[in-house]
Amino acid sequence: MASNLDKELFILGLTHSGKTFRPSDWAERLAGVMSQFRPGGPQPGSHLGYSPWCIPTTTISGVKCVIVHRDLRDYDVMAWDFCMNFAKDNDLQVSNTQTGA
């Protein structure tokens, strides 16, 4: 049986050269933009909470990250591409785990 971690990608707040990505609230901003992409579609007031498919958090080692659930890709491929291109355009590490391994 596949675990939920198999369905998640972590956009880490570290560039490929290891520098901390700025601004410090980048994860909350990205997740805020993605708040309308949720199961059942946007609802009144849904902009007030994060989508379960795009959640800002902090890793065990204290690095900001955004967890992007693969169900977002099934729901709206352009929203998925937006997140992945955000990571690519800003040279951010993307991993299957919070530790970046």
Task: Give phi and psi for 86, each to the nearest 5.
Answer: -60, -45
Domain extent listing, the chain: 23-61+68-95
Q: Quick check: 2 pLDDT over 50?
A: no
Q: What region does 45 belong to: left with phi over 0, alpha with psi -120 to 50, or beta?
A: left
What average pLDDT score do residues 55-73 get?
94
What average pLDDT score do residues 58-77 get?
94
Among 76, 86, 87, CA closest to 37: 76
Give residue-wise pLDDT tens across range 8-60.
Answer: 999 999 999 999 999 999 999 999 999 999 988 767 766 678 999 999 999 88
Contact 73, 80 (CB under 8 A): yes
What average pLDDT score do residues 92-99 get?
85
* Pairwise CA distance, residues 34 & 39, whole Å: 12
